[in-house]
Amino acid sequence: MTMILYRHILRAAALAALAVLPAPSMAADASGNAERGAYVLRLGGCISCHTDSKKKGAPLAGGVALKSPYGTFYAPNITPDRETGIGGWSTDDFIRAMTEGKPPQGMPYYPAFPYTSYTRMTRQDLIDLKAYLDTVPPVRKETPAHEMRFPYNLRVAMVPWQWLFFNGGTFKPDPRKSEAWNRGAYIVTGPAHCGECHSPRNFFGDVIEDQAMSGNEAGPDGKRVPGITQHPKRGIGAWTKKDIAYMLKTGSAPSGDAVGGAMAEVIENSTSHWTDADLDAVAEYLKSLPAR
């Protein structure tokens, strides 16, 4: 409780400080590189939620049903269609959604959209990603309304939720660590949002930070997600860096078993497309996580 109170006070102080500073320029500083953006899309795993592969839906046209303990979410259409997609959005609209969890108009997003991790992405990665999204064929397709249980159906509840639980801000490299470690930490905690599935959440749907990556009893579709810290039994302490990189590339664990469930989709849509350097960087970072 005291922690929450402290946060309130700190936030109020930070907001007061911001109010007297001149607003930072929000203008995009580059037009973006769509080719790089296509790779950022793979880092971010956007396809898993925004392409309805099971129903052979058009790329990024949305409609995927995401079951959670709070209800069923439908990931929206993010093709550049003006009416049913994000065709009318500026790059700044896009960056605000990805890093602040706020649409151009209206109440904040539910954290089922992992902006809680994407907030760590660099501005350049987001500008490139938007440039790529602008090249995707626009698809006209309405997204069904979310089917949430009370009280989670009240989107207005996301205002205090953000205030209490959302820690925004771009990833800050640790100068004491290697370049590979920092790249791995950026990918895991930012675009690849590994902790969104591999960390446990509290009653409010907030990731419990001091148990990060220790596993989650109620992951996607209510299924258990294993821990990926260096714990020898309840983690991947026994895996080498090579084992980790190989699994993320191919889906095959050191035991020889294929990794399944939601992770199979992560591998197919995301990690199997990564460069070897990025796979090694992620392995380097995961090997440094204390056992939990």
If the CB atoms of residues 7 and 155 are measured against ligand HEC, the closer one turns out to be 155
Note whether 61 binds ligand HEC by CB under 6 A: no
Stretch of 8-16, 29-37, 110-118, 202-210 contacting ligand HEC, by CB under 6 A: 110-118
Note whether 193 binds ligand HEC by CB under 6 A: yes
If the CB atoms of residues 46 and 131 are measured against ligand HEC, the closer one turns out to be 46
Note whether 189 binds ligand HEC by CB under 6 A: no
Note whether 213 binds ligand HEC by CB under 6 A: no
Distance CA 98, CA 139 (A): 21
- What torsion, rounded to 10 degrees, do the Cα atoms 7, 8, 13, 17 define? 90
Note whether 261 binds ligand HEC by CB under 6 A: yes
Distance CA 227, CA 219 (A): 12
* Contacts of ligand HEC in 22-51 (CB under 6 A): 44-46, 48-50
If the CB atoms of residues 112 and 127 are measured against ligand HEC, the closer one turns out to be 112
Note whether 219 binds ligand HEC by CB under 6 A: yes
Which of 234, 224, 102, 221 is CA-nearest to residue 168? Answer: 102
Distance CA 110, CA 94 (A): 16
279 and 248 Cβ atoms separated by less than 8 Å: yes
Note whether 80 binds ligand HEC by CB under 6 A: no
Which of 54, 100, 56, 50 is CA-nearest to residue 75? Answer: 50
Stretch of 7-15, 18-26, 167-175, 193-201 contacting ligand HEC, by CB under 6 A: 193-201
Note whether 112 binds ligand HEC by CB under 6 A: yes
**Interface pick for ligand HEC out of 72, 148, 262, 287 (rule CB under 6 A):** 262
Distance CA 138, CA 140 (A): 7
**Interface pick for ligand HEC out of 37, 63, 114, 138 (rule CB under 6 A):** 114
Which of 44, 182, 25, 40 is CA-nearest to residue 124? Answer: 40
